[in-house]
């Protein structure tokens, strides 16, 4: 298996997942159903996480396909620009979905047309449309039977309008490398985000494992938005760093293991909230012990977050450990 | 300041320094670096939680039991002091010829002083109620956040601002 396989496996999830998440949301609005709304938001957040490795694997797929003379570099570039625009909308939709899930949990279900709900609907509709274009432009690279124009450079109608908004991948890359101070600033934020994330997630996990048992769990759990904030800073600076040096990260085994650990953390969070583990610790008071299942999720969370740190540090040492083919 | 240049060279040419710097083993330089980042996460992460709580977030988290976090901070500090010395042995010239390095050390010194003061003045006095703890700890908490962010920033800049990577031949 190479990165082109990975790209082909992953690339259906953001497109179809966005439509499913959006569909659930729309139905939940029509029927005022909070469970459906929650399901839709979970799907959007999960798809936003999956969209990251999907985007990252595109550079590897490009490396594999570029040597074929029948493949047009212009079509690949158009697909990449479309993917960048869609990714940013997808990540905003995913972040808003997490905000929405948090608000649902905190019990503010009264207003259907809250600003958050409207923003989630807007960004997921826009993402669904942009993802359709990402899929079409991606298909054009390898499927001449669906290609309208031979070069694919001509755009018309709505796609011409969207194309104006799509970044040029090469120019975006240059922009990220414009100054070492900008790069240092992004990396600085990445480490500050790390400290915020590990501090807030870590104390909750440690409490569940029995550390500082005098602390009640519920108010510690309310630190979650700070952890999300730390993760948001790091997702953004991480994506920008990738765009700045795509080849540095793409052909690096430590980078991909870090992505794997992040996906496992996504599963860990989902399993924690969707099994009864969360309910079993939600109202633990001072001195009370967490059940074994909750301890298991707390331990895996800590191990995986420290694995993410370790693998991030090994990226520099493992560059060029993945061959193009 | 006059640097003991021959000493830098001697350290750098030692077998251990060379191994740390040049070995292909995954347990050389990057292994030390990852522990330095683990330590950062423990030390700054634990500080951030206490600082933010003192500055007013999630008032339902009882303050007194957060004292246990100081153990985690010292664990992180110990890991980073040890891994920091090893990183310094690997690249003595790079670090010691860079003013940012001394800035970082000074910031660490101030930050640790704030940390110990926070513990002794706010958390070691069992007679204080929460309002009194916050009144005493607020300013220290602000300084703590600013100083630790400064330490991280200085540490990051070390990777981008050096003049010599190794001793010039």
Dihedral of alpha carbons B7, B8, B9, B12, sign: positive
Lookup: tokens for B4: 């003991």
Neighbours of A173 (CB within 10 A): 16
pLDDT digits (tens, 9 = 90+) for A184-205: 999 999 999 999 999 999 999 9
**Interface touch B42/A198, C-beta < 8 Å:** yes
Residue A322 and residue A253 in contact, taking contact as beta carbons nearer than 8 Å:
yes
Residue A96 has pLDDT above 70, yes or no: yes
Among the listed ranges A5-19, A64-78, B150-164, which one has the minimum average pLDDT value? Answer: A64-78
Residue among A199, A207, A220, A253 with most chain B CBs within 10 A, to mutate: A199
Residue A197 and residue A234 in contact, taking contact as beta carbons nearer than 8 Å:
yes
CA pair distance A249, A262, nearest whole angstrom: 15
pLDDT at site A68: 83
In the three-class reduction of DSSP (H, G, I as helix; E, B as strand; rest coil), residue B97 is classed as coil
CA pair distance A34, A108, nearest whole angstrom: 11
Residue A152 has pLDDT above 70, yes or no: no
- As a whole number, the mean pLDDT across chain B is 95
CA pair distance A34, A114, nearest whole angstrom: 14
CA pair distance A322, A320, nearest whole angstrom: 5
Task: Using CB atoms, pick whichever of B60, B149, B160 lies closest to residue A192.
Answer: B149
pTM for the complete prediction?
Answer: 0.94
pLDDT digits (tens, 9 = 90+) for A38-83: 999 999 999 999 999 999 999 989 888 888 888 888 899 999 999 9
Give the nearest chain A residue to B67 (CA atoms): A212
Options 3.30.70, 1.20.1070, 1.10.1740, 1.20.120; which CATH number does A1-166 get?
A: 1.20.120
Residue B63 has pLDDT above 70, yes or no: yes
Residue B31 and residue B83 in contact, taking contact as beta carbons nearer than 8 Å:
no
Q: Which of B99, B108, B105, B80 is nearest to B161 (CA)?
A: B99
Q: Sorting pLDDT into bands at 50, 70 and 90, what band is B1?
A: low
Percent of chain A with pLDDT strictly greater than 70: 95
For residue A212, the chain B residues in CB contact (below 8 A) are 65-66, 68-69
Lookup: tokens for A134: 């990402």
Residues in CB range of A208: below 8 A, 6 or more apart: A217, A281, A290, A294, A295, A297, A298
CATH 1.20.120 segments of chain A: 1-166
Residue A150 has pLDDT above 70, yes or no: no
Residues in CB range of B123: below 8 A, 6 or more apart: B63, B64, B66, B67, B70, B133
Neighbours of A285 (CB within 10 A): 11
Residues in CB range of A156: below 8 A, 6 or more apart: none
């Amino acid at each position: 298996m190479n990165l082109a396989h990975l790209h082909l496996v992953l690339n259906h999830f953001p497109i179809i997942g966005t439509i499913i998440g959006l569909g659930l949301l729309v139905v939940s609005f029509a029927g005022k159903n909070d469970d459906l709304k929650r399901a839709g938001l979970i799907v959007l957040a999960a798809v936003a996480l999956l969209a990251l490795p999907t985007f990252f694997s595109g550079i590897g797929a490009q490396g594999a396909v570029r040597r074929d003379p029948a493949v047009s570099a212009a079509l690949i570039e158009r697909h990449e620009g479309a993917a960048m625009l869609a990714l940013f909308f997808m990540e905003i939709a995913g972040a808003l979905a997490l905000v929405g899930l948090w608000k649902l949990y905190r019990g503010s279900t009264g207003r259907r047309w809250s600003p958050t709900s409207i923003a989630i609907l807007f960004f997921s509709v826009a993402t669904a449309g942009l993802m359709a274009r990402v899929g079409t432009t991606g298909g054009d690279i390898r499927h001449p039977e669906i290609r309208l124009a031979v070069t694919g450079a001509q755009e018309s109608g709505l796609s011409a309008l969207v194309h104006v908004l799509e970044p040029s991948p090469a120019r975006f890359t240059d922009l990220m490398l414009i100054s070492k101070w900008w790069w240092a600033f992004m990396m600085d934020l990445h480490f500050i985000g790390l400290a915020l994330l590990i501090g807030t997630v870590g104390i909750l996990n440690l409490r569940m494992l029995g550390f500082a048992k005098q602390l009640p769990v519920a108010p510690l759990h309310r630190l979650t938005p700070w952890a999300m904030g730390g993760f948001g800073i790091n997702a953004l600076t991480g994506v920008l760093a990738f765009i700045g040096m795509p080849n540095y990260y793409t052909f690096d085994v430590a980078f991909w293991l870090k992505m794997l650990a992040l996906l496992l953390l996504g599963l860990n969070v989902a399993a924690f909230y969707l099994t009864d583990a969360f309910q079993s610790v939600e109202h633990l008071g001072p001195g009370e012990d967490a059940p074994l299942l909750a301890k298991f999720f707390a331990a895996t969370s800590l191990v995986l977050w420290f694995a993410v740190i370790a693998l991030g540090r090994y990226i520099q040492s493992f560059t060029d450990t993945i061959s193009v083919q | 300041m006059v640097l003991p240049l021959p000493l830098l060279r001697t350290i750098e040419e030692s077998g251990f320094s060379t191994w740390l710097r040049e070995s292909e083993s995954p347990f050389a330089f990057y292994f030390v670096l990852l522990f330095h980042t683990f330590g950062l996460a423990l030390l700054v992460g634990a500080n951030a939680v206490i600082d933010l709580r003192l500055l007013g977030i999630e008032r339902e988290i009882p303050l007194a039991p957060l004292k246990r976090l100081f153990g985690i901070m010292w664990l992180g500090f110990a890991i980073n002091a040890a891994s920091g010395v090893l990183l310094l042995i690997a690249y003595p010239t790079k670090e010691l010829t860079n003013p940012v390095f001394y800035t970082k050390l000074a910031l660490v010194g101030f930050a640790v002083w704030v940390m110990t003061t926070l513990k002794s003045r706010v958390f070691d006095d069992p007679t204080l109620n929460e309002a009194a703890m916050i009144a005493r700890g607020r300013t220290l908490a602000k300084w703590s956040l600013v100083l630790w962010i400064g330490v991280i920033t200085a540490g990051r800049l070390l990777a981008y601002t050096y003049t010599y990577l190794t001793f010039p031949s």
